[in-house]
Amino acid sequence: MTIPAGPYAASTQSAPVTEPELSPEEQQFNDLIAADSRIEPRDWMPEAYRKSLVRQISQHAHSEIIGMQPESNWITRAPSLKRKAILIAKVQDEAGHGLYLYSAAQTLGTSRDDMTDALIAGKARYSSIFNYPTPTWADMGSIGWLVDGAAICNQVPLCRASYGPYGRAMVRICKEESFHQRQGFEILLELMQGTEAQRQMAQESVNRWYWPALMMFGPPDDDSPNSAQSMKWKIKRHSNDELRQRFVNMLVPQAAVLGVTLPDPDLRWNDETQMYDLGEIDWTEFHEVLAGRGPANAQRLQRRRDAHDEGRWVREAAAAYAVKIAARKKNASAADSKDLAS
Amino acid sequence: MTAPGNSATEIWPLWEVFVRSSRGLSHVHVGSLHAPDETLAVRNARDLYTRRGEGVSVWVVPADAITTSDPDAKGAFFESPSGKNYRHASYYSKSEGVKHL
């Protein structure tokens, strides 16, 4: 068995061996993590820490970018001008979040073009939630309330992630997400105060999104291979199950305000734990969607690929124009200095 | 030494963005973005970093135009102030209790 590199590698050996001598920079990295300080781009860091961050941040960025699609689906059909404007602003925010995160990943030495290539080649992962379709207007409500709600629950602790640029990007994102969740809640509330057909639409949508939203927190703790290391490095601060539980505890009273039921017959208050007991999550579905066999995986990736291809000429033309203008400026200043010399 | 994240292989260069949140305050680094030239960099910066009125002025700087201190010489480079706590007002304790000092 090969021992993985990194500061925690030694702890995987069971024989009582002498502590390996740490290099000064590795010692400094460990001290910074222990002191709850932040690692910055130019600092030394274990290769595994860097790789783990690139994986997590780029997946997160891809999720924001793919996440624009289920909602942009409704921009042209939003029921009022106000809702249309809100939806456009929200989709624009998601694009912005993707860009903040790509920039954060880039400080680790990976290029945005490489990340984009990995996404459109189907080699990179993104959150399984965006592979579900949005057939009704109520889905805009459910996405805001449940999907963005789950995202906020996940992301608030990430504001304190040990890698500085990631934490800073998350602070910015969290500030903007709370509008997303509230506008979704409002869409559902208005539907629930509407006609019987509107109430049914809202409930049907919540039924479809509830379980996929709970899956957003990732596999259960005993089946989450990267979690423990991520928590030692203080990238993650809470386990998947802990965050999922926290989310449901907040959700139940909100569902009561809306007047919707959550589609879990086993959901009930536990007086002993002072928390809600949850029913069993269908992890087969989660793994199927993650493996690319969800309801909309192919469609989402194709749309992203098309957008990338159709935008190619714009990127190239803008780059060519910038080169031309720079050359023109250089020539002009060369001519100026010639004038001065003569 | 160029800024972290700048890569020569990309079609659009990387820019660092600084935003002045209101008059009377300095421009503060808020993040980075890609743009083909300075005009579009400023516009992209507006769209990306000031969607909610976060700024009254924006600076963009090509990431590779930034010179940084050597990260490997961190300790030595910033050594000078250490042990010189007489540069802080709190070093002078005998005047404690004296008003307006």
- Closest residue in B to A99 (Cα) is B33
Whether the CB-CB separation of B16 and B66 falls below 8 Å is answered with: yes
**Residue B95: inside a domain, yes or no?**
no
Q: How many CB atoms lie within 10 A of CB A241?
A: 17
B54 touches chain A (CB under 8 A): no
A22 touches chain B (CB under 8 A): no
**Residue A85: inside a domain, yes or no?**
yes
| Domain enclosing residue A268, as ranges | 24-301
Domain count for chain B, please give it.
1
Output the tens digit of pLDDT for each of chain A's 342 residues: 444 444 443 444 445 556 678 888 899 999 999 999 999 998 899 999 999 999 999 999 999 999 999 999 999 999 999 999 999 999 999 999 999 999 999 999 999 999 999 999 999 999 999 999 999 999 999 999 999 999 999 999 999 999 999 999 999 999 998 899 999 999 999 999 999 999 999 999 999 999 999 999 999 988 887 888 999 999 999 999 999 999 999 999 999 999 999 999 999 999 999 999 999 999 999 999 988 889 999 999 999 999 999 999 999 999 999 999 999 999 988 887 777 666
What phi and psi values does residue B15 have, to the nearest 5 degrees?
-125, 145
pLDDT in tens, A103-139: 999 999 999 999 999 999 999 999 999 999 999 999 9
B9 touches chain A (CB under 8 A): yes
Question: What CATH number does residue A115 fall under?
Answer: 1.20.1260.10
Residue B61: beta bridge partners?
B16
Yes or no, beta carbons of A316 and B11 under 8 Å apart: yes
Yes or no, beta carbons of B10 and A103 under 8 Å apart: no
Yes or no, beta carbons of A109 and B5 under 8 Å apart: yes
Kindly give, in sequence order, each residue whose CB lies less than 8 Å from that of residue B89, ignoring residues fewer than 6 positions away.
none
**Residue B39: inside a domain, yes or no?**
yes
Whole-angstrom distance, CA of residue B100 vs CA of residue A208:
67
- Closest residue in A to B36 (Cα) is A319
**Residue A1: inside a domain, yes or no?**
no
Nearest to A103 among B33, B40, B52 (CB): B33
- Closest residue in B to A313 (Cα) is B11
Whole-number mean pLDDT of chain A? 91
Question: What CATH number does residue B72 fall under?
Answer: 3.10.20.520
Nearest to B71 among A42, A89, A109 (CB): A42
Residues of A in contact with B9 (CB under 8 A): 111, 113
Whole-angstrom distance, CA of residue B4 vs CA of residue B2:
7
Residues of B in contact with A169 (CB under 8 A): 31
**Residue B9: inside a domain, yes or no?**
no
**Residue A233: inside a domain, yes or no?**
yes
**pLDDT at B69 (0 to 100):** 85
| Domain enclosing residue B35, as ranges | 14-88
Whether the CB-CB separation of A143 and A188 falls below 8 Å is answered with: no
What is the layout of strands, in order, in the sheet containing B57-62?
B27-34, B14-20, B57-62
- Closest residue in A to B47 (Cα) is A96
What are the CB-based long-range contacts (under 8 Å, 24+) for A156-161?
Answer: A157/A236, A157/A237, A157/A238, A157/A243, A158/A235, A158/A236, A158/A237, A160/A234, A160/A237, A161/A234, A161/A235, A161/A236, A161/A237
Q: How many CB atoms lie within 10 A of CB A66?
A: 23
Domain count for chain A, please give it.
1
Phi-psi region of A259 (alpha: psi -120 to 50; beta: other; left: phi over 0): left
A319 touches chain B (CB under 8 A): yes
**DSSP run (H or E) holding A77:** none
**Residue A163: inside a domain, yes or no?**
yes
Whole-angstrom distance, CA of residue B53 vs CA of residue B21:
8
